[in-house]
Structure formats: structure tokens, C-alpha cells
Amino acid sequence: MMKRNYRNLVQRYKGLSLNQYILIPFFEMSGKISVSKEADPNSIVRSPNKLVNGCPSDSDLRIRKSYVMSYNNETKNAEWVYEILNKDTLKVNCKAHGSFGRNEFVDKDYEQGHLAAAANHRWCQEAYHDTFLISNMAPQNKGLNKGNWKTIESYCRYRAMNDEVCNVHVYSGPLYLKEKKNKEGTEVEDFYDRADPSTLERKGGKVAPTHLFKVIIVENEDGTVEELECYVMAKLDKEDTDIQNLDNIDAVQNKYAQHINTIEKLSGLKFIESHPDVVTKDCIKTITGEGEKGESCSAKIKVRISEKNDDTRTGRV
């Protein structure tokens, strides 16, 4: 089931990603950049991984209060959803409402699973409501949604609250895969390949993914960007016992870790660039909204990002 040892996987690829630029749609996010200046070269810490503005794909970009997605009209699912978690965006200024996200599927083994988790966006009412838009949901097996997927969501929030961490950037999305077999008809080691979504079953008008992925990018306060953490989870692994707490996060990591190249291959998305012509900038976005009682609230996001020199985007002040 594409099992890998997490620590061995990280060690295997360490040193192979020098000058690796990770695409994030920071400028596409809601809100204007209130500060944008070229970073002092003396303050830039050497890091083999850097952030650069860009999207893994750009079909039907949809910008919400505190996440960005690319939507696929064929599958009726997002191709990817991008969000930034930090101590500001994880503030709780509104209550969770159980009336949202009612399960409408006839097949009660499936739920409308969030890609950007509702618990990640309670800093304002609109941001929280946005996570319940049907475009942010994909059919998920109930066991996965309430088990290992939820564990990884909790892990992302846990990392974001660390004093040494500036931001945790998270991509989530569906995969549509099929098994590959050799001439003898038995499974081969690399036994998943991309499937034609039109051949897969639909739930509530949406193609039901066979797998889900997460790409986690930890940006530290000292300017370094850690090695990518990437996970691929099958819609249901009947051999598994649900792991629903952070005490067992090592088990989840060891079971589901994948390299970013694998996710790019299986999704058709592009997350990594090499040696682009860029200028490194310190950028701050402040997103404003209202809390549960109509009070003004905001979330501040500061990112050290490399911007392509040919980027002609406007809207910065």
C-alpha cells in the first residue's frame, strides 16, 4: 500500500533538493500585501528549500477568505487546496457549528470530507464558513476522515503552534489511482498509476477519490524551510486501525510518507521548481474579518518568499 519508513524516506532524499523552490500561491491569497520589500541578504539564512510564488496548477482558481484552491469541473473536486497555518490564523473567534456540513450521501460510509479543515479557520466567521463550501469537500470514507486524515490535520496545527515555527503551509487534494500489475498479474512495487476519473464511481455528483494527499511545508522563524512532509492515504485501508491522536503520529508518518516527486507524478501537479530567476522578499498580508458577534478581527501572515522577476501582479501597496 505504498508504505515507506518516514525517517528513511527523508534521509534518502536529503541533499538531493539543493536550491529547491516550493511553489505557494501567496500573492493569490485574499488581502493585500501591506509590506513587500527585498530582504536584506545578510538576514537570509541558508536553506536548501525556499518558497516561490506560484501555483501547482491554475485552472479555475478560487480565492476564499483564508485559502486558495484550483477547481476541476470534470471531477467536481478541487485539484488542490492551499492554506497557511500560524498562531494568528489558528485563533478561535467563532464557535464550531455542528449544523454545517450535513452528510447528504446515500452511502453512509462516505462523508463530505474537508480539504481545508474547518478547525484551521476559526479566526473569523467568514473564513470558517468558507471551509463548508462544497468545492472544499471531497467524498471521503468515514473511517479515513475521522481517523488518520484527522490525525494529520491535528499534527499540522500542532506544528504551527511551535515557538520556532513561523508558518505551516499545507496543500491537500484528491488522487485518482489504479493498481498496476506485472505480466504474472501480481502487484508490483510501484503499483499505483493515474486513473481516468471518468471511470471511477461518483458520490453526490463528485468523483470519489481513491486516495488523498497532503504536502506540508514548515517555514521556521529563522528563515529556513524544512524538508517537505508528504503523505498519500488510501480511501480505506481495511488492515488499519484508526489512529486518532498525536501520540501515534509516528505510526501515521511511517505508514503514509511519500516523496514529493511521487505526488507530482500521481497528481499531475507541479510543486517544485529549480533555479528560477527570483528576488527574495519579506512579505506580510493582513486579512481582516468579523468574529462571531460582529467584532473586527484579523490574521497576520508573514512569509519570506522568492518572487519571479517576470511576475507582473498588482494589488500590492
Residues with Cβ within 8 Å of 275's Cβ and at least 6 positions away in sequence, in order, are: 19, 21
Q: Which three cell numbers stand for residue 39?
A: 530582504
Q: Is the pLDDT of residue 311 over 50?
A: yes
Q: What is the pLDDT of residue 274?
A: 84
List Cα–Cα distances, 73 to 79, 135, 174, 205, 206, in angstroms.
Answer: 10, 10, 14, 11, 10
Residue 271: half-sphere exposure toward Cβ, Cα within 13 Å: 29
- Report the alpha-carbon distance of residue 62 to residue 34 in Å, rounded: 22
Which among 282, 224, 225 is positioned nearest to 33, based on CA atoms? Answer: 282
Q: Is the pLDDT of residue 179 over 90?
A: no
What's the pLDDT at 314? 39
Q: What is the pTM of this model?
A: 0.87
Residue 11 reports pLDDT greater than 50: no
Cα 128 from Cα 296, distance rounded (Å): 15
Confidence of residue 221 (pLDDT cuts 50, 70, 90): very high
Mode of pairing for the β-strands spanning 49-53 and 229-234: unpaired
Greater confidence (286 vs 309) lies with 286
227: three-class secondary structure by DSSP: coil
With a cut of 50, say whether residue 288 has pLDDT above it.
yes
pLDDT digit string, tens, across residues 224-249: 999 999 999 987 655 544 445 566 78
Quote the pLDDT of residue 196: 94
Residue range 245-281, pLDDT digits in tens: 566 788 888 889 999 999 999 999 999 998 777 888 8
CA atoms within 13 A on the CB side of 107: 14
What is the spatial distance between Cα 67 and Cα 123, in angstroms, rounded to a whole number? 13
Say whether pLDDT at 1 is over 50.
no
| Nearest one of 109, 248, 103, 219 to 159, comparing CA atoms | 219
Q: Residues 6 or more apart from 241 whose CB is under 8 A from it? A: none
Q: Does domain 6-16+61-262 have CATH number 3.40.570.10?
A: yes
Kindly list the domain boundaries of the chain, sorted by start residue: 6-16+61-262
pLDDT for 220: 96
- pLDDT at residue 71, as a whole number: 98
Q: What is the band of 33 on the pLDDT scale with cuts at 50, 70, 90? A: confident
Give the pLDDT score at 263.
96
pLDDT tens, residue by residue, 136-177: 999 998 888 888 999 999 999 999 999 999 999 999 999 999
The whole-number average pLDDT for the span 303-313 is: 72
Separation CA 202–CA 212 (nearest Å)? 16
**What is the arithmetic mean of pLDDT over 298-317?**
71
CA gap 206, 100 in Å, rounded? 19
Q: Single out the residue of 141, 140, 121, 143 nearest to residue 132, CA to CA.
A: 121
**Of the ranges 98-112, 193-207, 252-266, which one carries the lowest mean pLDDT score?**
98-112
Instruction: Write out the DSSP string of 243-264.
Output: --SGGGHHHHHHHHEE-HHHHH
Higher pLDDT, 212 or 47: 212
Instruction: State the amino acid at position 162 in one-letter form.
Output: N
* Band of pLDDT at residue 31, cut at 50, 70 and 90: confident
Higher pLDDT pick, 86 / 104:
86
Q: Which 8-state DSSP code applies to residue 225? A: B
**The predicted structure's pLDDT at residue 98:** 57
Kindly indicate the confidence band of residue 312, based on its pLDDT and cuts at 50, 70 and 90.
Answer: very low
Average pLDDT score, the chain: 84
What local confidence, expressed as pLDDT, does residue 16 receive?
A: 44
**Residue 7 DSSP label:** H
Per DSSP, 12 falls in state: H
DSSP reduced 3-state for 8 = helix
Which 3 state secondary structure label does DSSP give 174? strand
d(CA 89, CA 73): 29
What does the pLDDT read at residue 36?
Answer: 61
Whether the pLDDT of residue 3 is over 90: the answer is: no
Cα 97 off chain centre by: 23
Q: Give the C-alpha separation, 24 to 231, whole Å.
A: 18
Axis crossing angle, helix 6-13 with helix 249-256, rounded to the nearest 10: 60
